[in-house]
Structure 1
Amino acid sequence: MAATLLEQTRAAHEECERLERIIVKDFDQDLKGHREKLAQGHRVRKRLDELQALSTKLERIYADEDGARKEEIAALKGLDEHGFSAFYERIKEVREYHRRYPYLEVAEAPNEEEALKEVVEVSFSGDEVGGRYLDVHEHFHRFVNAKFGKQLDYLEYLTSFSDVSEISKQHRLSKPYREYLQALVGYFESFYARTQPLGSLSKIYAKLGDFEARFRAGQIPGWADEGVANGDVAANGLDMTAFATVEEVESLGADAIKEALAKLGLKTGGTLRQRAERLFLTRDVPLAELDKRHFVKGAAPAGALSVEERDRQEAMMLEAALLEAKVRTWSEVYSSVIEDTKGYVEKKQASTYEELVAEQELKAEEDAAALDSDEEDEFIYNPLKLPMGWDGKPIPYWLYKLHGLNQEFKCEICGGESYWGRRAFERHFKEWKHQNGMRALGIPNNKNFFEVTQIKDALELWASIQERELGGFKAEVEEEFEDAEGNVYDRRTYEDLKRQGLI
């Protein structure tokens, strides 16, 4: 027997009251520890979603667009055209239903105490450690392998992922760059929903204000001179009226000309002469009137574009700027979590395989027992900034010194980079930064140069190896002399011993 509309309304109100009681009781619990508080937040979030769904249903019932509720109330009052006949007909249906199914059990209300212990499954990756740290490895690999990215390690990425000042406008308008930002923003929104179930994304993004208006006014960092308001690319910072000929422009040098062309959105390829001629064109011809073939793809000024192309470029610029602003906002919101994540990554790098396995086993035991230590939320005093151990506390100072983490090794080839501990120092010879430094010197990064950190020493050793490989007769080294007793010496040793009167 289907429930009547009024019965559905009564049941919905009753369920709303029950959910409200459960939420109040849940908040009355004295919970300690990150995991229990997170579970409570997700329980309450689930109840609130159910409340919202029921409230929407009640609003639809009370709106009574089809008039079904009004008809049902009129039938109960006996105000229809048949008088009380509809009322008695309904009583007859109820009696007939219970006569036919006499053994139906009355459904009991759900146990509210059990609802307080309900566990809402929330998925976290291993590196997120239950929502304590960020895991942006996927976006890190996407960044370092993209044309708009650069080579850096994971710790540097955690510090600088929101800094886009070094990315050219050409790349910032590209589709891969916008897709990368969308994925990064999507991750932060997902992480926020999983770790702050009672939070509000609208409050986070409220900090952006009227973003589109500020963008068009040129008030967004990084887009002040490139926004839609100006309708042009950034000025190159050079007063071209100061140059009378192309030769004078050439005197700036290849790097300066290339940088000026890039800022204007012009192509940077070709010889020094071709670059200078391209830049010299901007002295007498406005950018908007320059031929589109001089610009890189997607960087032509507004005046050189059709209305459709301009609208499309404006939309891309606005989208890229908004995504960058969202990434900066999340970096501010999660500034403390980012610092904790960097400490966690450093701890993992300083841990042995056995320590990592022991840590995973310990966490598995904690998850099985569903116990949290009260010390998890306590402030950890670490004035020496020692790496964190597998138990989440700073490692002992004697262990810090035992592993040599107090010893600093500098590498001039890596640009004066410091490496703490012998293990990190030896490992860096195979990392990209040292390999790039050796490649810049024109030297192969092989075992002959292991532990060579000075540029001068590396160049001298490489010259010595090349000289030895070229071959040829060297009198001082290869010419042999024999004394009266039959002992054989090279020329330099023989002359030294003879001069001293020893042979």
Structure 2
Amino acid sequence: MNNNSSNILSSVPEAFGRYLDLHELYNEFINSKFGAPMEYSAYVGSFSQMEKISQSHKATRQYREYLEHILEYLTSFLYRTEPLQDIEKIFAKLESEFEERWANEEVPGWGNKSTEESEIDLDYYSTVEELVELGPEKLKHALAARGLKSGGTVQQRAERLFLLKHTPLEQLDRKHFAKVPRTKDVSDASSNGNHFKDDLKKEIALMEVKMRRLCELLDEVFVRTKENAEKKLTLTYEEMEAEREEEEVQADTESDDDEQQIYNPLKLPMGWDGKPIPYWLYKLHGLGQEFKCEICGNHSYWGRRAYERHFKEWRHQHGMRCLGIPNTKNFNEITSIEEARGLWEKIQARQGLNKWRPDLEEEYEDQEGNIYNKKTYTDLQRQGLI
């Protein structure tokens, strides 16, 4: 890949939260002692696989700063793209769970007794030459984990480790063992720097756990970022330039669309998105029909649904109270003040005919068994006829 294309690739933006911009972290990784040269897409794919890094490299200040930069960027990205995520609460829960996992030596890549690099099963190796193929670093870690001397050539290291295949560690000649430091300060770390102070180990392990959790929350974004990086590798410089210009034009167009005045010649009602609703929906709900209500002060209601609903709303109820008329179902569909008053008078008159009138309807009986209403009985009694 030429320099121009690599510059374009390294300037891929986050695309409004669609991709992660890990190029600074990528450059920091490949230029570090614990990193290795690789493509950007491969780096994104193995971003959270910190267990592959040896503990001796994790003890360095460079690795710790690298983790701090990762946490800073991922936390910032999550705040910007998912502001409702309670990151502090997530971290607090992780820290409480981490204490128990650390005590049980269940944190990946942080077993206190031995690391993955030092766990070499000698049963799988039948000759010294097979051990030589493992390489000097892995043999060095395996020897140091067992307390043996880790110096010398690759052949010497392999021969020294191969002795354990047939001889138990306790019966091995003392000349093969490394000297134990006398000072207390040095006793906390092994000669190869694989084991360092527990508090520092614990702090870095917690940072790795937090980083893995953030990677889980952003898993889909990591997948998109890797796919985008792989896609960029297949493009030429001209294609990258054209794609970048197209993205810029599209972003400018979207911003212009948001800023320009909304064109609404038919004066259609606005929808939930702040834009006029479709005309077919406008016709379907009959929003072009106007209904006026005199009781509501000649207020206009557009559409049958709004008109029927307004009889139970505050404006119509207030108008009915001003007229001294109860707002019952009898007055639905009545919008004229004159019609409402006329109907109310009829209802009152009907209620008057059916009203209980004791003078005419209350019955009395005399001694002879004759039945009279209250008025007649009272008149006869006053005249002394009963």
Q: TM-score if structure 2 supplies the norm length?
A: 0.49
Q: TM-score if structure 1 supplies the norm length?
A: 0.39
Q: Name which one, 1 or 2, has greater alpha-carbon Rg.
A: 2
